Amino acid sequence: MAEETLVLFKNIRNPKYNKSLAGYKKAGGYKTLNKVFGMKPDEVVQEVKESGIRGRGGAGFPTGLKWSFMAKETGKPSYLVANADESEPGTCKDRELMLKDPHLFLEGMMIGCYAVGCHHGYIYVRGEFFPAIKTLIDAVDELYADGLLGPDPMGSGYQLDLTVHSGAGAYICGEESALLDSLEGKRGQPRVKPPFPAVSGFNGCPTSVNNVETLACMPYILSDGGVDAFKSFGPQNNTGTHLVSLSGHVNNPGVYELRMDVNMKDIIYGIGGGIRNGKKLKGVIPGGSSSSVMTADEVDVLYNFDELAKINTMLGSAAMMVFDEDTDVVQLLHRITRFYAHESCGQCTPCREGTHWSRNIIRDFLNGNGSDEKLKRLDRVGGNMLGTTLCALGDAAALPIQSFVKKFPEDFRKYYAN
Amino acid sequence: MYNLLIRYPIKQNALIPILLLAQKENNGWLTEEWMRHVADCCEVPLTHVEGVVTFYTMFRLKPPGKYHLQVCTCVPCCLVGGTELLEFTEKKLNTHAGYTTDDGLFSIEEMECIGACSYAPAMIVNEDYHEQVTPEKMEKLIDQLSQ
């Protein structure tokens, strides 16, 4: 039976915990930052590399490597931007961290700033997260009042400022280059890469964009013995604990902190309490709506980056959406494609057109106008979006379409057979 | 507004937060006059501001109701009754998503994922999250706010 392993949620799961600066310090907070100020930035990056942590935002890129790509001695300032534009359907873990333990994330953010030589970090929070934005602004104010932010945090002489920046509602701004355009005060449209943000990011300066949960792991990784402990929480290349957002037809939906060597079945039937109303499992969308769907037969697998990649799906942002036997998957896919049609930024033709076409074809099925030919066409429209766009939204729209058609063809046929 | 401007290397960078501030100041929507003012503050052309405003879903060019009900029907919410919740709300208020009631009290918006998936179905009323909302809870809330 799966149980939580508490690293990030150590404070949150303590009912007596007070999330104020004083409360966080009492629980041992900001000690690691003090230690980090005594290290060289390169040493910090090296430790993060050794921990093996992979970005928790969805792509799973190694964080230490990302930081080591930052262009040096360019004569321009360097920036660290926290990606708190949590918009992938199913994902609600960063909100949990920001609302309930803001200083854990902020300490990680400050460690990250020091590691990449950034003196002014930005936290890009999605605009709808009003309560999280307020919590973060209050926490940042506390840090300024305490002297932990400003010209001389902890006597280090390292000038450090943080600004909480609100987005205004656009899924695409979770893509790092679109996020940077949005932060610059433009429409959030992904950029042509290269150059990558590490060379030319915010206002053309070297920038690292990191997910909230990734940064929140830093105080643990950089603490004494943290690297080895972090590595022990999962198999090689899938280190650490991660926050799993569990939703859909389970008895106990919620955000849980789990090791990376936990079986998906244990998550659904153990910690998730099984399928509600005694129903049977039909399938799972394992890593946010952009990942390929899995059938009930496929869920006996370890829930981590590499094991899910082996079966042609992905961990993404670790957002598991569980659905039961009564679910109409054609309607479910229609809702998913509606999302992408709404959120496509309109820049690349395959995605701008393809997301609408696919939604319209599925609507045809729902209206009783489906056919074998249309099912094939749906698959083809999906295929034409794969790898043909500047950012991953095209792929994100295509993968659910192709996997639903492949794994649940009978459900589509029900709409037009006889 | 000027506190915001000094947080960024270039004035244009503060455009979106300042627009949100302006919208809040103007009871939840933006007029050309406000956009022109923000354009001057951020030293960008009005056309740039209009381009930005029409790109992001949170900016509104017509007034919302006093209580703006933002009901999420995206994937996790639709699995556990978000769509039905929206239909119930539309019926209860005798209007549709995208519209405001005649008395100007309520407006409804159908939302894409609002990031409260483990507490679905969820909605935002003005700036507050409401979680695990049932039609009964919705009815009670609307009755309460109508008084």
- The minimal CB distance from B112 to the residues A171, A254, A345 is found for A171
Q: Does A221 score more than 60 pLDDT?
A: yes
Tens digit of each residue's pLDDT (9 = 90 or more) over A137-157: 999 999 999 999 999 999 999
Beta strands in chain B (DSSP E): 67-72, 106-111, 123-125, 128-130
Q: Report chain B residues whose CB lies below 8 A from the CB of A87.
A: 112-113, 115
pLDDT of residue A415: 94
Q: Report chain A residues whose CB lies below 8 A from the CB of B16.
A: 165-168, 182, 185
**Is A2 domain-assigned?**
no
Interface contact flag, A168 B19, Cβ < 8 Å: yes
Interface contact flag, B44 A185, Cβ < 8 Å: yes
Interface contact flag, B115 A336, Cβ < 8 Å: no
Residues A215 and A245 in one domain: no
Helix (H, G, I), strand (E, B) or coil at A396: helix
Residues A181 and A319 in one domain: no
Tens digit of each residue's pLDDT (9 = 90 or more) over B76-112: 999 999 999 999 999 999 999 999 999 999 999 999 9
Q: C-alpha A320: how far from its chain's center?
A: 12
ipTM, 2 decimals? 0.97
Q: How far is B55 from chain A (nearest CA, A)?
A: 6
pLDDT of residue B1: 57
Cα–Cα distances (Å) from A22 to A123, A143, A212, in that order, read 22, 10, 22
Burial of B2 (0-12, 13-18, 19+ CB in 10 A): exposed
**Is A406 domain-assigned?**
yes
Tens digit of each residue's pLDDT (9 = 90 or more) over A96-111: 999 999 999 999 999 9
- To the nearest 10 degrees (0 to 180), the angle between helices A329-343 and A349-366 is 150
Interface contact flag, A327 B79, Cβ < 8 Å: yes
A185 touches chain B (CB under 8 A): yes
Q: Over the Cα atoms of chain B, what is R_g? A: 17
CA separation for the pair A350, A388 (Å, rounded): 7
Residues A89 and A147 in one domain: yes
Residues A156 and A294 in one domain: no
| Residue A11 near residue A24, CB atoms below 8 Å | yes
- CB contacts under 8 A, A 90-119 vs B, are 90-92, 94-95
Q: How far is A182 from chain B (nearest CA, A)?
A: 8
Domain boundary (A309, A324, A339) is at: A324
Which domain does A410 fall in, by range? 329-414
B72 touches chain A (CB under 8 A): no
Q: What is the mean pLDDT of residues A125-131?
A: 97
Domains held by chain A: number:
3
Percent of chain A residues past pLDDT 70, beyond the cut? 100
Interface contact flag, B115 A127, Cβ < 8 Å: no
Domain with residue A227: its CATH number is 3.40.50.11540
Residues A141 and A289 in one domain: no
Residues A143 and A283 in one domain: no
Residues A68 and A157 in one domain: yes
Interface contact flag, A319 B44, Cβ < 8 Å: no
DSSP letters for A85-126: ---STT--HHHHHHHH-HHHHHHHHHHHHHHHTBSEEEEEE-
Interface contact flag, B118 A169, Cβ < 8 Å: no
| Residue A284 near residue A54, CB atoms below 8 Å | no
Q: What is the mean pLDDT of residues A6-10?
A: 97
**Is A6 domain-assigned?**
no
Residues A263 and A221 in one domain: no
Tens digit of each residue's pLDDT (9 = 90 or more) over A153-209: 999 999 999 999 999 999 999 999 999 999 999 999 999 999 999 999 999 999 999
**Is A1 domain-assigned?**
no
Residues A276 and A341 in one domain: no
Q: Please provide the size of chain B in residues.
A: 147
Domain with residue A376: its CATH number is 1.20.1440.230
A246 touches chain B (CB under 8 A): yes
A76 touches chain B (CB under 8 A): no
pTM for the predicted model, two decimal places: 0.97
Residues A74 and A183 in one domain: yes
Interface contact flag, A128 B124, Cβ < 8 Å: yes
Domain with residue A303: its CATH number is 3.10.20.600
Domain boundary (A203, A231, A259) is at: A231
CA separation for the pair B48, A261 (Å, rounded): 49
Percent of chain B residues past pLDDT 90, beyond the cut? 97
**Is A16 domain-assigned?**
no
* Averaged pLDDT score across all residues of chain A: 97
**Is A260 domain-assigned?**
yes
Residues A347 and A308 in one domain: no
- CB contacts under 8 A, A 249-278 vs B, are 249, 253-255
A50/B2: higher pLDDT: A50
Helix (H, G, I), strand (E, B) or coil at B67: strand
Q: Report chain B residues whose CB lies below 8 A from the CB of A317.
A: none
Domain boundary (A324, A350, A385) is at: A324
Mutate to test the interface with A, among B20, B52, B117, B132 (most CBs of A within 10 A): B117
Cα–Cα distances (Å) from A33 to A132, A145, A163, A268, B82, in that order, read 23, 17, 18, 37, 43
**Is A98 domain-assigned?**
yes
pLDDT of residue B27: 96
Mutate to test the interface with A, among B112, B124, B125, B128 (most CBs of A within 10 A): B112
- Nearest C-alpha neighbor of A399 from the set A238, A286, A268, A264: A286
A128 touches chain B (CB under 8 A): yes
Residues A290 and A156 in one domain: no
**Is A4 domain-assigned?**
no
Q: Does B2 score more than 80 pLDDT?
A: no
Q: How far is B59 from chain A (nearest CA, A)?
A: 7
pLDDT of residue A417: 82
Q: Report chain A residues whose CB lies below 8 A from the CB of B128.
A: 130-131
CB pairs under 8 A between A and B: 143
pLDDT of residue A2: 75
Tens digit of each residue's pLDDT (9 = 90 or more) over A333-380: 999 999 999 999 999 999 999 999 999 999 999 999 999 999 999 999
Cα–Cα distances (Å) from A31 to A102, A106, B73, in that order, read 16, 13, 43
Q: Does B14 score more than 70 pLDDT?
A: yes
Interface contact flag, A321 B79, Cβ < 8 Å: yes
Helix (H, G, I), strand (E, B) or coil at A377: helix
Using alpha carbons only, what angle is made at residue A151 by residues A149 and A155, rounded to the nearest 5 degrees? Answer: 85
